[in-house]
């Protein structure tokens, strides 16, 4: 399952979404996420799903690939759905047994909340899949550049975000290798009772943490040896260029916002 993690991965390509300025994609994802929280009925959620599918096709990505990326967080989505189903009341009673009952409002809100999370995850994943870590770092640094006047370490923050995203798939691959090594030694973390599975995780977590700290130390040493000093005197080989298509892409948020407002209950 862990090898299906797509968050933080970058797929080189020449699609329309690949060619957009990373700053535009970052702003679009941020504003579109705000619009998603305005959805409050099935029509608006259907519109959000259609827009997401259109962006996915423009990025030349497969739906099955993005769906596989949901598998590692499937438990969180299922837990969110069940919390709404069992604890949100209102509407028609669907199931009633002794001390608990399931009502239609809880089921409706549960499904809508899961859809909201899925759309946000899809949009964010499309951005990371079509934007290299270096471009994402430059975009964050450029957008938050005014904060440098407040003596905030904008460059270091952007670099930290980029490295974090970059090492997500690396750590997932490392976790898979450790799990396979433990399985070869007779360890079983997939079956058994919950306490037994938790105890079986300890031999997995210790080498994983050691490997993560070792990678962090090696990266720090490599950056120090190469004379890295933050953004002091730093130049960029590839300059970010804002083009007309980036402006047109952001302007598309206006009709999306208007449609959302008109279609809201």
Backbone angles phi, psi at 87, to 5 degrees: -120, -10
Structure tokens at 7: 């968050």
Domain positions in the chain are: 1-131+239-265, 154-234
Distance, CA of 190 to CA of 166 (rounded, Å): 28
Burial 98-116 (b: 16+ CB within 10 A, else e): eeeebbeebbbbbebbbbb
Distance, CA of 121 to CA of 59 (rounded, Å): 15
Contact 60, 13 (CB under 8 A): yes
Three-state secondary structure call for residue 25: helix
Three-state secondary structure call for residue 214: helix
> How buried is residue 31: exposed, middle or buried, by Cβ count under 10 Å (0-12/13-18/19+)?
middle
* Residue ranges in the chain whose pLDDT is less than 50: 1-3
Specify which residues 110 forms β-bridges with. Answer: none
Among candidates 166, 130, 160, which has minimal Cα distance to 55?
130
Structure tokens at 190: 């997939």
Q: How many CA atoms lie within 13 A of 239 on its CB side?
A: 4
Distance, CA of 38 to CA of 26 (rounded, Å): 19
Distance, CA of 231 to CA of 214 (rounded, Å): 25
pTM for this prediction: 0.77
> How buried is residue 221: exposed, middle or buried, by Cβ count under 10 Å (0-12/13-18/19+)?
exposed
Distance, CA of 107 to CA of 114 (rounded, Å): 11
Q: What is the pLDDT of residue 139?
A: 86
Distance, CA of 166 to CA of 103 (rounded, Å): 43
Backbone angles phi, psi at 88, to 5 degrees: -95, 125
The DSSP code for 90 is: -
Q: What is the pLDDT of residue 8?
A: 61
Q: What is the pLDDT of residue 226?
A: 80
Distance, CA of 257 to CA of 217 (rounded, Å): 46
């Amino acid at each position: 399952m862990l090898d299906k993690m797509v968050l933080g991965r970058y797929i080189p390509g020449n699609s329309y979404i690949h060619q957009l300025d990373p700053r535009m994609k970052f702003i679009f994802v941020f504003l579109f996420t705000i619009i998603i929280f305005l959805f409050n009925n099935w029509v608006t959620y259907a519109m959000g799903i259609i827009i997401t599918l259109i962006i996915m096709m423009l990025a030349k990505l497969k739906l099955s690939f993005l769906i596989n990326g949901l598998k590692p967080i499937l438990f969180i989505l299922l837990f969110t759905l069940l919390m709404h189903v069992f604890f949100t009341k209102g509407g028609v009673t669907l199931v009633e047994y002794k001390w608990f009952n399931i009502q239609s409002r809880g089921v409706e809100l549960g499904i809508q909340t899961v859809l909201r999370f899925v759309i946000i995850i899809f949009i964010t994943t499309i951005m990371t899949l079509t934007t290299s870590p270096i471009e994402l770092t430059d975009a964050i640094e450029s957008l938050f550049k005014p904060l440098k006047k407040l003596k905030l370490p904008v460059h270091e923050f952007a670099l930290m975000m980029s490295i974090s995203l970059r090492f997500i798939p690396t750590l997932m691959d490392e976790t898979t290798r450790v799990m396979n090594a433990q399985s070869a030694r007779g360890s079983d973390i997939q079956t058994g009772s919950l306490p037994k599975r938790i105890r079986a995780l300890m031999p997995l977590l210790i080498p994983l943490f050691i490997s993560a700290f070792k990678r962090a130390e090696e990266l720090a040493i490599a950056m120090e040896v190469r004379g890295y000093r933050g953004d002091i005197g730093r130049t960029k080989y590839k300059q970010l260029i804002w083009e007309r298509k980036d402006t047109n892409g952001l302007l598309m948020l206006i009709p999306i916002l208007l449609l959302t407002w008109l279609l809201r209950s």
